[in-house]
Chain A
Amino acid sequence: MAEKITGAEALIKSLIAEGVDLVFGYPGGAIIPVYDKLYDYTDQLKHILVRHEQGATHAAQGYARVTGRPGVVIVTSGPAATNVITGLSDALMDSTPLVVITGQVASSFLGSDAFQETDVVGITQPITKWAVQIRRAEDIPAAVARAFYIANTGRPGPVVLDIAKDAQVGMLEWEHKKCDFIRSYIPYPKINEQDLQTVANLINSAKRPMILSGHGVMISGAEKALAAVAEKGNIPVAATLLGLSTMPSNHPLYKGMLGMHGNIGPNINTNRSDVLIAIGMRFDDRVTGDVSKYAPQAKIIHIDIDSSEFDKNVKTDATIHGDAREVLEKLLPLINEADHSEWLETFDKCAKVEYEKVIEREVYRTDGPITMGEVVNKVSTATGDRAVLVTDVGQNQMFSSRYFRYTEPKSILTSGGLGTMGFGLPASIGAKMGAPERTVCFFTGDGGLQMTIQELGTIMEYGTEVKIILLNNNYLGNVRQWQELFFNSRFSQTPMVNPDFVAIANAYGIAAETVNSREQLDDAIARMLNHKGAYLLNVIIDYTDMIFPMTPAGAAVDNIMLNATEKYPLD
């Protein structure tokens, strides 16, 4: 008979058995037994003490998205559990595997409004892939195994294990068996051969096909298969925000980003295409604009591992239910070689207009205040286009995702679905810890940075080498832009009085400097990248800078503003 151990120790041993060596967390009353046992396992399980539980979830998201393994979070009950809600919701929207462990009051107190009791399972069920409460120590190993299996198979997502205090202190004979089957759950469906053939026929008969590459391509590691299919059929590829870096920026078939602030070519050509091949993406409204005017000429093919996405937002003509990589590999031999050079040239024409009307004046300005685009472009160049880009939310997110260039997969980390301001700083910490060999550049705004700024303390404590580029315009810039364009320049509550960010960084022992003029920028970027350790570059930005092109919310995807006064196509 095996020796009995506590539920708390069983939890830690099960985490280790699942291959976890790093957790993000914050101790508290209802999780103390777990932290007490953690004290004995610090050689096998490193704990990162964040400064707020929301930060733990975003850091775990950053870690998960660069490693492809679930990020693990341990927090206490009540307020700690409610503080992880934003991260859970964000992770569900962006298909990020998380295993979040919350302490809970002892089971005899459940439902009594006990101190720091909250209905964690009830609150988190709508925003998790799975949430369960554990009230007996002996249930812990199987629940942990199940949690990891659910979080990181099929379409990944967050899972919550709410562990009552008596389950943490109760005794059990520990044995960990990995979960590889749940009868009510089919993470990887068998791919239907007929569907493959139908889709191949559609692609082979297409005159103006376009691939829409989403996050699912990255999650399934389908980047090579995607390139192979695109190259064989000479099919242009556009990426969603989370699908950026699934194809290198300099690949001749890569034609840019979709969506509200995406590139003109992919957006205009969405409505000219005759066959759209959507892979691992979900036709978010920021991508489709007005769905009733979306892709009127196109047959729509949708390849996804989550069949509930089919026909959810856009009516499809053919679907393949399955893992993106497996589908693309099976599709490759069925695709004919084709020449779509005339179609491909239409993207170049759009790109030329975009360069002349938008990019040149944004990125290569020679006078006036610094713009966001030029900072992003310079940082990308200085890293050899090889860094991991982490963004916050808002103009900084759109400028950095547009003007950063990607040469390696898994190179962008951004809050796409939920659009969580404050996501970036903790996510960049998790990203650097998950991929210590890579440079991590975090672009943020003065608004978003202050939503989770306390995580500078985490950077200080662990010496995490994150390069923070603060695009500082003393405004909530994205809302300001909408106010200027659509609300008669009534800047309601968007100007912001800011602290001395360099002094704050320095107080945390983080090197920092302010850049006021264009002439200082190159040297400052070089100093930042050459510095051993975290660095904050506070770049003072033109507050009138606006992100274009722009498809106004609710407008058709080909209704594109080039700037405040001109629209595409130009007369």
Chain B
Amino acid sequence: MEKQLFTVTVFSENQVGLLNQISIIYTRRCLNIESLSVSPSSIEGIHKFTITTWSDRVTMEKVVKQIEKRIDVLKSFLYTDDEIVYQEIALYKVPTEQLLNETNLEAIIRRHNARILEITKEYTVIEKSGHSDETEALFEELKHYDIRQFVRSGRVAITKSPEEYVTMFLEEQARRAEEIN
């Protein structure tokens, strides 16, 4: 089956050990996590994981079910790139001296819609957000300037769907909790 990049989002309770519970589901199936980002979500007390992986749909659908089976996971979803708006951020550290010799620097920064975060005598830090092919393109260009450090964040993503499934799930569960009590 053809491999493509999938994005899995996971909404969970904020508890110790959840990342391990999720990552072992990938490990067991020999799936390499391409990128990962974890942070508190817009809903108080709930954490959001965004995980990208090259795989096929059948495998990933099973992975999502296994993730959702974990007790402290509220919901997990599977997306392809066309279903989400997503972004990554990259930082580049370049020797300032190298940049000073460059007549085209302004053009590069402009073309890539990047910005400069810090300049010291020794180094300059450039920031660029975008899709990974875009941050990669700037990296390729800055290579000529003796790039010292390069770091790229995990993907963050927002769905295009008008439905907010996690909010709906929590409302439904709140109703259930009331029924029980």
Contact = CB atoms under 8 A, between A and B. Distances in A.
A131 B28 CA distance: 18
Contact of B20 (A125, A150, A182, A307): A125
Given A183-B173, A183-B177, A184-B12, A150 B17 contact: no
Nearest to B72: A184
B16 A133 contact: yes
Interface of A, secondary structure class, is mixed
A134 to B, nearest CB: 11
B24 A125 contact: yes
B6 to A, nearest CB: 17
Contacts of B143: none
B160 to A, nearest CB: 25
Interface of B: 12-13, 16-17, 20-21, 24, 28, 61-62, 65-66, 68-69, 71-74, 170, 173-174, 176-177, 180-181
B74 A184 contact: yes
Contact of B66 (A129, A183, A308): A308
B71 A126 contact: no
Contact of B62 (A131, A185, A308): A308
A306 B62 CA distance: 12
Contacts of B72: 130, 184
Given A125-B20, A306-B69, 14 more contacts: A122-B20, A125-B17, A130-B71, A133-B16, A181-B180, A181-B181, A183-B74, A184-B12, A184-B13, A184-B74, A185-B71, A307-B65, A308-B65, A311-B61
A356 interface: no
A177 to B, nearest CB: 11
B104 to A, nearest CB: 51
B43 to A, nearest CB: 12
Interface string A328-353: 00000000000000000000000000
Most buried by B among A180, A184, A308: A184
A81 B114 CA distance: 53
Contacts of A307: 65
At the interface, is chain B mostly helix, strand, loop or mixed? Answer: helix
B76 to A, nearest CB: 11
Interface size class of A (residues with CB under 8 A): 20 to 34
A509 B164 CA distance: 67
19 contacts: A122-B17, A122-B20, A125-B20, A125-B21, A130-B71, A130-B72, A131-B17, A133-B16, A150-B71, A181-B176, A181-B180, A181-B181, A183-B177, A184-B71, A184-B74, A306-B69, A307-B65, A311-B61, A311-B62
A89 B81 CA distance: 37
Interface in A305-330: 306-308, 310-312
Contacts of B74: 183-184
Contacts of B73: 184
- The 5 lowest CB-CB distance pairs between A and B, nearest first, are A308-B65, A183-B173, A184-B74, A130-B71, A126-B24
Nearest to B74: A184
Contacts of A129: 71
Interface string A23-56: 0000000000000000000000000000000000
A73 B164 CA distance: 42
A133 B16 CA distance: 9
Nearest to B22: A125
Contacts of A180: 180
Nearest to A315: B58
B70 to A, nearest CB: 8
A121 interface: yes
Contacts of B21: 125
Interface in A173-189: 180-186
A541 B181 CA distance: 60
A184 B69 CA distance: 10
B62 to A, nearest CB: 6
Contact of B71 (A122, A182, A312): A182
